[in-house]
C-alpha cells in the first residue's frame, strides 16, 4: 500500500527502505531537501491518495506536536496518522483528540530495534482503535520481523498504549544493560578472570542470560577491547525517567530501573557528586577523617 | 571419550544423555541405586580406564567437598576431576590443592542452561590449567551448543575462574529477571495496557530487549495467565549473595544486582518487614499518622 | 498580632495554642462547628482588622486550592495569606498569582515538628517576598523554637521555596527512618544482640547517629516491645514521591530516598509482588526450581 | 580506678583525657616515644596493679590482633582486656578464646562520638560476660555522656555483641549521611532555593529530621560555603561493607545502607565506571546514540 513517512533520519530512512523492500510505496518528507521526496507537508498530502496513511517519525515533544498540528490541517477526514516516534504516552490523547476533531484517525506505535531493524525487522507496540490498526496492518507486517505476527507486533490497547509499552520496554532496557554492566565490571575487577571478553562471548549461547544485548556487548568489546575508547558519560532520552515516574504514579517498586537511571545521572556529574561532598564533609567533621581537597 | 559422572540429578542426568548422544561413554554414579551405573565411587574408579576424567555434578558446599575428598583417595595420579556444580569459587583452590597433592588435575566449570541444556547445549565457563582444559575438550565440545566453540565455551582463567564467571553470570541473571519483572508489574498496573501477555510476546522479536529469559516469561504467562498460580516467595541458591559480596570486596557498585537480591529477601518476610515496622512506628510517634495494627 | 487560622485539625489546633501562648490573637475557622470561632470564611474576614494575615492549614491539593480561591474573594488588597500545609510547591505560583491579582500577598511555609511542635516549636521554611515575610515574622517567631531565629526558621527563597524545602525535608526523613529501620532489623536478626532496645537507647547520647528520630524509635520500642503491635504496612502522603520526581527532573541520583519510597510501596502489596512472581516463574521455567503456589 | 590504655592516637588521647578528668589513673602505651607513658607493653603490665584492666584502642585487624596476642603473654590470670577499636565482630571470639586460655577476661566495646567525645562523652556498646562488664563499669561511666547510664551505654550481649552493635551503628550512619546528602544536592539543584545553608540550619531545631549529623553539616557549610573546598572522593573504613555482608548473611534487605556504600565506591572510580562504559557502548551499538570518547 501507499504510505506517507515524515522524518527520514536514521530510523525513518531505514524504515522506508524496509517498507519499499516489502513492496509498499513510500513517499517521504523531511525538512532536509537532499533527502525528501516532496518539498512540504502539503505536497505530501497532495501526493497521497485518500484515504491516506501517514507515519510520523520525528523527535518527541515539540517536533512531533507541531507535525501533528500541521497534519490536522493538511489531511482530510478518513485519513490516518501513526506516531512511531518515542513520544511520551501522555502526548497521545491530545494528539488523537486534535485529529479526531477533523475526522482523522490516530495510532501511537512504539518501535524498537534501532539501526538493526532494517535487517531484522522492528518490534512494534501499537495503541489505537481496532479499525485503524487493521487498516495499517500491511505496514506493521512489513516493518515487524518475519514469522508469526504476535512475535513482534501487539495491539497493546487504546490510544496511548503503544507508547506506554515502548516506555516500559525502554525502562527494562535500562535495567538489562545495567545488569550486564555490573557483571562486566566485576569480571574486570577479578584477577582470576583472564579472558573477560571471551567469558561474555561464551555466555551468548546456551546460558540463561543469552540475549541480543549480550551479543552487542560482545561485539562492542571486539571493536574496542577493554572499552578503552569510550567514556562512562551516559545520556538518557527520557523513557527511563518516564518509567520511574510511572512507577511512582502506580506505586510500583522500581528499584532496579531507578538504580540504572540514577547511575546515568551520576555519570554526568563532571564536577563531582554534591551528595558525596556532603558525606565527605560530615566524615571530616565528626571523625577528622582525612578528606580529599577539591581538584586534587 | 570415556567419562565418569557423579551426580545423576536433574542436571547430571540430562548431561549424561547429551554426552551419550555425542558418542561419549558415560559411567554414572549416584547414591540412588535405581539410577546409578556403579554401586560406589571405588567401583566407578575401577570401571574407568586410566587416565580417568571424572565430572562432579552434586550440590555445592559439603556434598561437593566430600566427593572431592573421596576422589582424592579413589583416583590415581594423572587423573582429572571437573567440578561442574555451582560451587563458590573460593572452594576451588582447596579442592585443586587436595587433588594436586595426589597428582590429580582439577578443573572448575560453570554450567548454565538449566533443564533446556539437554536440547540447546550448555554455556560453559572453565577454570584450570591449559593442559587439563585441552584434555577435557571433547567433553566440553559435546556439552556446549553447536557452532563456534567460543560461542558457548570459555577458558576463563586459572582454577576458580570458571565458578567465578558462573557466579557473575547468575548475578547478572538476578538483575535481568528483576528488570523484566518490574516492567511486567508496571504493564499490569496501567489500565491502558489491555494485553500484557501479548505485549511481552511482541517484544520477543526485533526489539532491543529480546532474550531467552523474555521467551521464558512469555511461556510462563501462557501456561499461567496473570501468574495467578504462583506466589511471590522467591528463594535464592547463593550465587546472588556471593556476587554482591564480591562486589563489596572489589569496591564495585552493584546497585542493580543487590536490589534484585534484597527484593528476594523481602519476598520471604512472611511476618512483615521489621524495617517498615520501625518506619511505621516512627510515623506514628511524630505525626500521629494512623498505623495498621499487626494482624489486621 | 492578630491572625486568622483556617483549619483546626491536629496541627492547626496545636499551632493556635502555641500562638495564643505567645500572646497573639488567633481567630480560627474550621468547618466543624464545635471547634470553630466563626461560622464562615466571610465572617473570619469580617472579624479580622485590615490589613489581615490569614494562615491556611488544611489538607493539600483541592482543599487548599478551594480555600485560597475563597480567600481571594473574601479578603482585601493589602491582606496576606500563608499556606502552611503540605502543598506541592507547584501549587504555590498559581495560588500567589490568583491572590496577587486581588492585591493580596502570599507566603508558602513548610512546617515540621508534628504533634511535638506545640511544646518544642516548629521548624519553618518560608517562601515569598521579603516584605511579606517581614510582616508575618511575629507569627513565625512564635511558632518556631526559642533561641536564634536562624535555628528553626528560614526565608528559603521566593514563592514556592518554602514548600520545596519542606518536600526535601520529608524526602530526607524517608531516608533517615529507613536507615534506622534497616539497622534495627539487622540487630533483631543477630543472636549476639540480646538487648536490641537497649542498644538503640545507648545510641541516643554521645554517638554519631543520635537524633530526634532515634529518640522516638526508642520511645516506640518502650511502648510496644518488639513492635509486636504494629504491621509493616506503611502509607505515604506524597512528599516522598514528589522528592523523587524532583530528583528525576534535576538529574539528581536519589538512590537512598527512592529505595525508602519503594519499600513503602512494597509494604502495601498485600497480594504479593508481581515482579517477584515473574522472577519466581522464570526460575521455574529455566531451572525447574520449586516455586511456592499462590495462597500456600 | 587504674587503667592501661594502648593506642594514644586521636581517639585514644582524647579518651585518656576524659578518663583523667573523671579521676581515673591512666597509664598509656603507644609505639611513639613522644606520647607514651611506658616504653613497652611489658612495662605497661608491670606498671599496673593486678588485677589489671587494659583498654586497646588501635586500628582493627592485624594491629589489634597482634596487641591481643602480646597481652595474652604480658598479662596475668584475672586481668581484663577491652578492645575499644573498630574491630570486626568476628575477631572477638578468637580474641576472647586466646585470652581466656590464660585466664584473662575480654570485652569488646564499640565507641562512637569521634573527636567530639572528649567533651560530649562517647556512646558505648559492650559485649562480654556480666562480671567483666561490672568490673569495667567505672571506666564506661567516665567515658559515656553524663546522665542516665542507659542513655549512652549498653551491655548488648556476649562477646562480639559490642562490635556488632557498633558495626550496625556505622551502617546506619552511612544511610543517614547519604539521605542528608541527597537532600542537600536537591536543594542546590533547585533555583527556587536561594538559601541552601540557611535551609539546613533552619532544620536543626523543631523539625523531624533534626540530629547531630545535621548540626555538623550546617557547621561544614559555614566553614566551607558550597563545599567548594572538598572533593566527592569518599573512603570507607570497613563497617559499611561488613554491615551489608551481615545483611546478606541474615537475609535482611539493606537497600538504603548498600546504596550509600556503593555510592562511595563510585566516588572513587577516577577513571570512570566500567558499568556505565558498557551501558554507553551498548547504546552506541543498537541505536547509534552518540557516545562521549574517553578523555574528552
Candidates B25, B73, B173, B277; catalytic one: B173
pLDDT of C207: 97
Cβ(B26)–Cβ(B20) below 8 Å:
yes
Chain A neighbours, 3+ Cβ pairs < 8 A: B, C, D
Shortest Cα distance, chain A CAs vs residue C263, angstroms: 7
Nine-digit cell at D73?
603473654
Q: Which residue of B has its CA nearest to C273?
A: B232
What number is the average pLDDT over the span D101-125?
A: 96
Cβ(D197)–Cβ(D227) below 8 Å:
no
Helix (H) or strand (E) holding D125: strand D123-127
3-class DSSP state of B109: strand
Chain B neighbours, 3+ Cβ pairs < 8 A: A, C, D
Cβ(A277)–Cβ(D225) below 8 Å:
no
Instruction: State the CB neighbour count (10 A cutoff) for residue D210.
Output: 22
Class of domain C167-287: mainly alpha
Flag whether residue B265 sits within 8 Å of chain C, measured between CB atoms. no
- CA distances A281 to A139, D42, D57, D261, Å, are 59, 40, 25, 16
- CA distances A271 to A268, D44, D225, D270, Å, are 9, 51, 16, 12
Instruction: Please give the backbone phi and psi of residue A63, each rounded to the nearest 5 degrees, phi first.
Output: -60, -40
DSSP state letters, C201-264: HHTTSSSTT-BHHHHHHHHHHHHSGGGTTB-S-----SHHHHHHHHHHHTT---HHHHHHHHHH
What is the end-to-end Cα distance of chain A in Å, rounded? 64
Nine-digit cell at B196?
500484557
Q: Is the pLDDT of residue D63 over 60?
A: yes
Please tell me the distance from the alpha carbon of residue B264 to that of residue B258, in angstroms, as a whole number.
Answer: 10
Please tell me the distance from the alpha carbon of residue D177 to that of residue B77, in angstroms, as a whole number.
Answer: 58
pLDDT of C293: 75
Confidence of residue A237 (pLDDT cuts 50, 70, 90): confident
Cβ(B107)–Cβ(B134) below 8 Å:
no
Q: What is the mean pLDDT of chain D?
A: 96
ipTM, interface predicted TM-score of the complex: 0.96
Q: Which residue of A has its CA nearest to C261?
A: A253
Confidence of residue D291 (pLDDT cuts 50, 70, 90): low
pLDDT of D296: 52
Chain C neighbours, 3+ Cβ pairs < 8 A: A, B, D
For chain A, list the strands marked E by DSSP: 2-6, 25-29, 53-56, 80-83, 105-112, 123-127, 153-157
Enter the pTM of the model: 0.96
Nine-digit cell at D111?
565507641
Nine-digit cell at D237?
573504613
Q: Is the pLDDT of residue B291 over 70?
A: no
Nearest to D55 by CA among D108, D14, D125, D123: D108
Residues in A closer than 8 angstroms to B157, CB to CB, are 192-195
DSSP state letters, C90-117: GGHHHHHHHHHTTT-EEEEEEEE-GGGH
3-class DSSP state of C74: helix
Confidence of residue B295 (pLDDT cuts 50, 70, 90): low
Flag whether residue D270 sits within 8 Å of chain A, measured between CB atoms. no
What number is the average pLDDT over the span D71-78?
A: 98
Flag whether residue C113 sits within 8 Å of chain D, measured between CB atoms. yes
Instruction: State the CB neighbour count (10 A cutoff) for residue A39.
Output: 11
Q: Which residue of C has its CA nearest to B296?
A: C231
pLDDT of B293: 75
Nearest to B80 by CA among B122, B39, B130, B116: B130
DSSP alpha helix (H) spans, A82-235: 92-100, 117-120, 130-143, 161-189, 196-202, 212-223
Residues 6+ apart with CB under 8 A from B152: A202, A204, A205, A206, A207, B121, B122, B123, B124, B144, B145
Please tell me the distance from the alpha carbon of residue B106 to that of residue A121, in angstroms, as a whole number.
Answer: 46
Q: Which of residues 167-186 of A touch B (CB under 8 A)?
A: 168-169, 171-176, 178-180, 182-183, 185-186
The number of helices, as runs of H, and strands, as runs of E, in chain D is 12, 7
Residues 6+ apart with CB under 8 A from D27: D2, D3, D4, D5, D37, D38, D44, D47, D48
Please tell me the distance from the alpha carbon of residue C116 to that of residue B289, in angstroms, as a whole number.
Answer: 13
Please report, for chain C, the start and end positions of each structural domain, with discontinuous segments joined by +: 2-158, 167-287
Superfamily of domain A2-158: NAD(P)-binding Rossmann-like Domain (3.40.50.720)
Residues in C closer than 8 angstroms to D165, CB to CB, are 187, 193, 199, 202
What number is the average pLDDT over the span A159-183?
A: 98
Q: Is the pLDDT of residue C295 over 70?
A: no
Q: Is the pLDDT of residue A296 over 60?
A: no
DSSP alpha helix (H) spans, chain B: 10-21, 41-47, 62-74, 92-100, 117-120, 130-143, 161-189, 196-202, 212-223, 239-249, 255-267, 274-287
Residue A194 burial (10 A CB sphere; 0-12, 13-18, 19+) = middle
Q: What is the mean pLDDT of chain A?
A: 96
Give the pLDDT confidence of B77-100 residue by residue, as tens digits.
999 999 999 999 999 999 999 999
Shortest Cα distance, chain B CAs vs residue C149, angstroms: 23
What number is the average pLDDT over the span C166-190?
A: 98
Flag whether residue B268 sits within 8 Å of chain C, measured between CB atoms. no
Confidence of residue B237 (pLDDT cuts 50, 70, 90): confident
Nearest to C47 by CA among C74, C80, C7: C74
Tell me the torsion sign for CA atoms A267, A272, A278, A282: positive
Q: What percent of chain B has pLDDT over 70?
A: 98
Residues in B closer than 8 angstroms to D273, CB to CB, are 253
Give the pLDDT confidence of C227-276 residue by residue, as tens digits.
999 999 999 989 999 999 999 999 999 999 999 999 999 999 989 999 99
Higher-pLDDT residue of B293 and B145 is: B145
Helix (H) or strand (E) holding B83: strand B80-83
3-class DSSP state of D25: strand
pLDDT of A289: 64
Q: Is the pLDDT of residue B42 over 60?
A: yes
Confidence of residue A268 (pLDDT cuts 50, 70, 90): very high
Residues in D closer than 8 angstroms to A217, CB to CB, are 278, 281-282, 285
Residues in A closer than 8 angstroms to C259, CB to CB, are 255
Shortest Cα distance, chain A CAs vs residue C276, angstroms: 11
Identify the DSSP state of A211: B
Confidence of residue A284 (pLDDT cuts 50, 70, 90): very high
pLDDT of D146: 97
Confidence of residue B296 (pLDDT cuts 50, 70, 90): low
Nine-digit cell at B130?
591449559
Q: Which of residues 29-68 of B touch C (CB under 8 A)?
A: none
Amino acid at each position: 500500500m501507499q504510505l506517507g513517512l515524515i522524518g527520514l533520519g536514521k530510523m525513518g530512512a531505514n524504515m522506508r527502505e524496509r517498507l519499499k523492500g516489502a513492496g509498499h510505496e513510500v513517499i517521504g518528507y523531511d525538512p532536509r531537501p537532499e533527502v525528501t521526496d516532496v518539498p512540504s507537508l502539503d505536497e505530501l498530502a497532495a501526493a497521497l491518495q485518500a484515504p491516506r496513511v501517514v507515519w510520523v517519525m520525528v523527535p518527541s515533544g515539540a517536533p512531533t506536536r507541531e507535525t501533528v498540528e500541521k497534519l490536522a490541517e493538511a489531511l482530510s477526514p478518513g485519513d490516518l496518522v501513526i506516531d512511531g516516534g518515542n513520544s511520551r504516552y501522555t502526548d497521545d490523547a491530545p494528539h488523537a483528540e486534535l485529529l479526531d476533531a477533523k475526522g482523522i484517525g490516530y495510532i501511537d506505535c512504539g518501535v524498537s530495534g534501532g539501526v538493526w531493524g532494517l535487517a531484522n525487522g522492528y518490534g512494534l507496540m501499537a495503541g489505537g482503535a481496532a479499525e485503524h490498526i487493521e487498516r495499517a496492518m500491511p505496514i506493521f507486517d512489513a516493518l515487524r520481523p518475519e514469522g508469526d505476527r504476535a512475535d513482534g507486533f501487539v495491539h497493546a490497547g487504546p490510544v496511548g498504549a503503544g507508547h506506554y509499552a515502548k516506555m516500559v520496554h525502554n525502562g527494562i532496557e535500562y535495567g538489562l544493560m545495567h545488569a550486564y554492566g555490573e557483571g562486566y565490571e566485576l569480571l574486570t575487577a577479578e584477577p582470576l578472570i583472564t579472558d573477560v571478553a571471551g567469558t561474555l562471548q561464551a555466555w551468548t549461547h546456551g546460558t540463561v542470560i543469552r540475549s541480543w544485548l549480550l551479543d552487542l556487548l560482545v561485539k562492542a568489546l571486539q571493536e574496542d577491547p577493554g572499552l578503552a575508547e569510550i567514556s562512562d558519560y551516559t545520556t538518557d532520552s527520557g523513557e527511563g525517567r518516564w518509567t520511574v515516574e510511572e512507577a511512582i504514579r502506580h506505586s510500583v517498586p522500581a528499584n532496579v530501573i531507578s538504580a540504572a537511571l540514577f547511575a546515568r545521572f551520576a555519570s554526568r556529574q563532571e564536577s563531582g557528586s554534591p551528595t558525596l561532598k556532603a558525606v565527605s564533609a560530615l566524615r571530616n567533621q565528626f571523625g577528622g577523617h582525612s578528606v580529599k581537597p577539591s581538584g586534587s
